[in-house]
């Protein structure tokens, strides 16, 4: 419900308007009507998505600094606010396995989640899905634990196993209610991964720091990734030429405003429902003081990794650690977590060496190391003042590993490329 009660800012990620219950988004009344302040008349077109509850609009005066509630609309009700939405595919733990994760309002006390799937045009089978969620008390601090909290609903994951290489499959997510009724999501399709070492056309898009934005032009908290709409549009436009997406950290920049995870999964649904959408952890997902992150910044807005590791599946042995390997045809991807310690002797260092050393380079010549932070800066006084020119720490040891195992390419997000050296190829793909 709307209120003009004010809660003071608790850290840099708690932004105006400082309402005690943060709105999903907001827009200025004169956005499309320049003389609104004189006439009191205007109109706005706003896009709303299913976030498991009714939606209403409120009119405030006083601007962002002193908001006062004037009136609110009647509630807008979705036909089924609990419906399964925003499917997102991922690679499984073996080359012939994929997963689909989606969001709904159905707990396991109300319905059984499942997916219907099979080779296109052939008999479809049913596979069960597991269900996860998380609560306010798993957040580490504000705004995620305070003004930015929003119930995430339930997150379901099912597995497609024993896939035939390169064949097209169709699938449909659903929930069987205990009265026998089935609630279906939309039907989608995907192409199964190629066999490891298969010499065929394999197209992987790698980027970081995407974020999200509102296509209707409205405003959000931490609203600095407006360009994500253009990037998403281009990916959708070229989707027929994409086999897999690797999004290596700083996923949606919710930074503690939980409703934005729904907005992000809705934004990338046309992509993620069709090709594997693999993610990595970045500072805006994980970092928080005293939470176990290697860097003690406030960048996650109190999320400390919990939404990211639940909203997206990754084939990690421990999803909280968020490092994993995945094979795709001629590619071996070693996905590291820059927000946890990876120096020699750590569990992550051992994983990285195992990932690099266990690949058969005759079958998979493309050995790609992926991580969020750039491994060192050759310029930028800001980073030097912070003592982070060797960020993340331990890069020299990693470079020795890359040289030892002839790592072909290293891709990172988080900043801009600023040098060229004769060695492993480094590519900065976010910023």
Q: Which of 211-215, 371-375, 386-390 has the highest mean pLDDT?
A: 211-215
Pairing of strands 68-72, 85-91: unpaired
Structure confidence at residue 13 (pLDDT)? 81
Task: Provide the CATH topology of domain 206-405.
Answer: Purple Acid Phosphatase; chain A, domain 2 (3.60.21)
Q: Is 90 helix (H, G, I), strand (E, B) or coil?
A: strand
Structure tokens at 174: 């659903």
The answer, yes or no, to whether residue 425 has pLDDT greater than 70, is: no
Structure confidence at residue 417 (pLDDT)? 47
For the chain, the structural domain boundaries read 85-192, 206-405
The answer, yes or no, to whether residue 379 has pLDDT greater than 90, is: no
The answer, yes or no, to whether residue 11 has pLDDT greater than 60, is: yes
User: pLDDT grade, residue 390 (50/70/90)?
Assistant: low
Instruction: Round the average pLDDT of the chain to a whole number and report it.
Output: 91
Direct distance between the N- and C-terminal alpha carbons of the chain, in angstroms, rounded to an integer? 37
pLDDT above 90 covers what percent of the chain? 80
The answer, yes or no, to whether residue 421 has pLDDT greater than 50, is: no
The answer, yes or no, to whether residue 245 has pLDDT greater than 80, is: yes
Question: What architecture is domain 85-192?
Answer: Sandwich (2.60)
CATH fold match for the domains 85-192 and 206-405: no
Q: In this structure, are residues 268 and 232 in contact, taking their beta carbons and an 8 Å threshold?
A: yes
Q: In this structure, are residues 120 and 168 in contact, taking their beta carbons and an 8 Å threshold?
A: yes
Choice between 378 and 59, residue whose per-residue pLDDT is larger: 59
Structure confidence at residue 418 (pLDDT)? 45
Q: In this structure, are residues 392 and 374 in contact, taking their beta carbons and an 8 Å threshold?
A: no
Residue 224 burial by Cβ neighbours in a 10 Å radius (0-12, 13-18, 19+): exposed
User: pLDDT grade, residue 103 (50/70/90)?
Assistant: very high
Q: Which of 25-29, 195-199, 274-278, 383-387 has the highest mean pLDDT?
A: 274-278
CB hemisphere CA count around 214 (13 angstroms): 20
C-beta neighbour count of 58 within 10 angstroms? 17
Query: What DSSP string describes 256-319?
Result: T-THHHHHHHHHHHHHHTTS-EEEE--HHHH--TTTT-SS--STTTT-TTHHHHHHS----SST
């Amino acid at each position: 419900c709307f209120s003009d009660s004010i809660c003071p800012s608790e850290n840099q990620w708690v932004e105006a308007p400082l309402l005690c219950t943060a709105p999903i988004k907001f827009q200025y009344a004169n956005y499309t009507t320049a003389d609104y302040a004189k006439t009191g008349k205007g109109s706005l077109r706003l896009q709303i998505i299913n976030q498991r509850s009714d939606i209403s609009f409120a009119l405030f005066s006083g601007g962002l600094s002193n908001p006062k509630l004037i009136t609110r609309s009647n509630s807008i009700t979705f036909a089924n606010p609990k419906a399964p939405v925003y499917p997102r595919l991922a690679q499984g733990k073996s080359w012939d396995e994929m997963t689909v994760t989606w969001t709904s309002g159905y707990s396991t006390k109300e319905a059984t989640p499942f997916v219907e799937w099979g080779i296109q045009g052939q008999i479809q089978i049913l596979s069960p899905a597991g269900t996860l969620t998380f609560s306010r008390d798993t957040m580490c601090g504000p705004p995620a634990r305070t003004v930015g909290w929003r119930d995430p609903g339930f997150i379901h994951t099912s597995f497609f196993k024993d896939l035939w290489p390169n064949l097209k499959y169709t699938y449909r997510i659903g929930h069987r209610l205990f009265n026998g009724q089935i609630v279906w999501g939309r039907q989608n399709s995907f192409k199964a991964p190629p066999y490891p070492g298969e010499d065929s056309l394999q197209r992987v898009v790698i980027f970081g720091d995407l974020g999200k934005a509102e296509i209707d032009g409205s405003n959000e908290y931490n609203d600095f990734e407006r360009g994500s709409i253009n990037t998403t549009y281009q990916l959708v436009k070229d989707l027929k030429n994409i086999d897999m997406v690797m999004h290596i950290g700083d996923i949606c920049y919710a930074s503690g405003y939980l409703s934005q995870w729904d907005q992000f999964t809705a934004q990338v649904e046309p992509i993620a429902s069709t090709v594997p959408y693999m993610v990595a952890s970045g500072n805006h997902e994980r970092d928080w003081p005293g939470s176990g992150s290697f860097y003690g910044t406030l960048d996650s807005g109190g999320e400390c990794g919990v939404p990211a590791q639940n909203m997206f599946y990754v084939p990690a042995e421990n999803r909280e650690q968020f490092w994993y390997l995945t094979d795709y045809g001629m590619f071996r991807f070693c996905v590291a977590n820059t927000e946890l310690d990876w120096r020699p002797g750590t569990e992550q260092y051992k994983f990285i060496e195992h990932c690099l050393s266990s690949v058969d380079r005759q079958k998979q010549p493309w050995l790609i190391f992926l991580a969020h932070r750039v491994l060192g800066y050759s310029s930028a006084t800001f980073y030097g003042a912070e003592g982070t020119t060797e960020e993340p720490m331990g890069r020299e040891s990693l470079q020795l590993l890359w040289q030892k195992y002839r790592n072909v390419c290293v891709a990172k997000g988080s900043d801009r490329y600023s040098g060229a050296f004769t060695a492993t190829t480094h590519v900065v793909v976010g910023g």
